[in-house]
Amino acid sequence: MAKAAHYIPPRAHGVTPYLVVHEGRKALDWYQAVFGAEVESVMDGPDDLVMHAEIRIGDAQVYLSQEFPGMPGFVSPKSLGGTATSIHLYMPDVDATHARALEHGATEIQPPTDQFWGDRHSTISDPFGHRWSIATHKETLSHEELEDRARQAAEEFAAGAEAGGES
């Protein structure tokens, strides 16, 4: 008889991203090569289809499934023509991770740049259509410092927009 369990499985978090991809095996290989993901489990379906996989990137668990045509909710960004979400990922070296992602076929959205909130940050789209914000935390700011920097960044952005350029 099964015993009672906590409502969140061991090693999982209350929020777990679930990625749907067009090519399951290639995605697992890519996340291992670029982000150092550890594949914890894979449930195979017919024709080598990845029905469900669990990977770990750092201390975060991510679920993954290959798309199932005709199954509600199991459609990849490639089939949808894009994604409206981004996964924020902290890595020890954003520059190296960003470069490795590009070497493995990612599309650059934003190169690594120091940001006002204390992170060095970049954005890529992986070959499967998922957008990743990759960051390395560089400095911890007080609430007041963060508010001051945010205000200054907003003013610079507004001034650049008024001038017709980018900031």
Question: Is the pLDDT reported for residue 165 higher than 70?
Answer: no
Q: Where do we find the tokens 């978090």?
A: 13
Q: Is 98:124 a contact under the CB 8 Å cutoff? A: yes
Question: Is the pLDDT reported for residue 2 higher than 80?
Answer: no
Which CATH fold topology does 83-167 show?
3.30.720
Same fold, 1-71 and 83-167: yes
Q: Report residue 137 as tokens.
A: 């935390």
Domains of the chain by residue range: 1-71, 83-167
**Burial bucket for residue 118 (CB in 10 Å: 0-12, 13-18, 19+):** middle
pLDDT digits (tens, 9 = 90+) for 44-98: 998 889 999 999 999 999 999 999 877 888 899 999 999 999 999 999 999 999 9
pTM, two decimals, is 0.89
pLDDT digits (tens, 9 = 90+) for 100-144: 999 999 999 999 999 999 999 999 999 999 999 999 999 999 999
pLDDT at 73: 85
Average pLDDT over residues 33-54: 95
Give phi and psi for 115, each to the nearest 5: -110, 155
Phi/psi class of residue 81: alpha, beta or left (left: φ > 0; alpha: ψ in -120 to 50)?
left
For 73-102, give the DSSP string: T---HHHHTS-S-EEEEE-S-HHHHHHHHH
Cα→Cα distances 66→34, 61, 135, Å: 19, 17, 27
**Domain at 1-71: CATH architecture:** 2-Layer Sandwich (3.30)
Sign of the dihedral through C-alpha 62, 64, 70, 71 = negative
